[in-house]
Amino acid sequence: MTGQSASGPPGEVSAPRITRRLRFDKAGPARYLPHNDLITALVRALRRINAPLAYSQGFSPKPRLRFGPPLPVGHCGRGELVDIEFSEPGPADLVALLDRACPDGISIVAEDRSVAGRRSPMAAARSYRYQVLLADPAPDLAPSVRGFMELESAPATVRRGPGRVREIDVRKAVRDLSAKGPDEFEVEIAIGEGTLCRPEDVADALGVGGNSFTRVNVKYEF
């Protein structure tokens, strides 16, 4: 649903588009929604409130929504970004209307008017920060964190779907790591730089079992 110009039916001249950037939380049952299902849920909610969506060109026009880095299935997210293109300004109370129309677990929390229409969230994302809650307390978590940060590298073999095995350097991907107690740590992971690191990989490198993964912030350069 990205990468094409919005317009009406094929052959028509593209009308001016208005981009509005919203922040949303994804939690509860919604954390198990794959990214494509999240898109579908938001589009249905937008249609439910009769939002004036702009559409892509071609024989199968689609609404224009642009997201930040997709959340892995099972992960929660706070303040996630989505850019939505409209054919006209739309309702002033878009946040409240759309929030009420969204399914359980998806909450529209704010509109960011300062950067809408600039680079897409995905292109501008540079790193993300996760809060990780452990399945069992680890009294030696803080020393393990210090030891990990002193490493020059931490190679690991990870699975990214059926039959997809990748070699990554977990230490190279981690920009910041801190223990918040015996059962919680926060980690900032770089986006790009040849890594496909997830917070589960950091938990494995620390020798602990993560039980809950919440992306609490994404750093962008718009």
| Tens-place pLDDT, residues 76-128 | 999 999 999 999 999 999 999 999 999 999 999 999 986 655 788 999 999 99
Other residues' Cβ atoms within 10 Å of the Cβ of residue 132: 23
Average pLDDT, the chain: 91
Rounded to a whole number, what is the distance in angstroms from the first to the last CA of the chain? 20
pTM of the model: 0.88
Angle, helix 199-206 to helix 141-149, in steps of 10 degrees: 110
Query: What's the Cα-to-Cα distance from 211 to each of 80, 90, 176, rounded to whole Å?
Result: 21, 40, 20
- Tell me the two tokens of residue 222: 């718009």
Q: Which domains does the chain have, with CATH numbers?
A: 18-118 (3.30.70.580), 125-220 (3.30.70.3190)
Parallel, antiparallel or unpaired: strands 210-220 and 76-86:
parallel
Q: Which stretch of DSSP H or E encloses residue 23?
A: strand 18-26
pLDDT more than 70, % of the chain: 90
Provide the pLDDT for residue 9: 45
pLDDT in tens, 177-193: 999 999 999 999 999 76
* Distance, CA of 62 to CA of 76 (rounded, Å): 26
The pLDDT of residue 128: 96
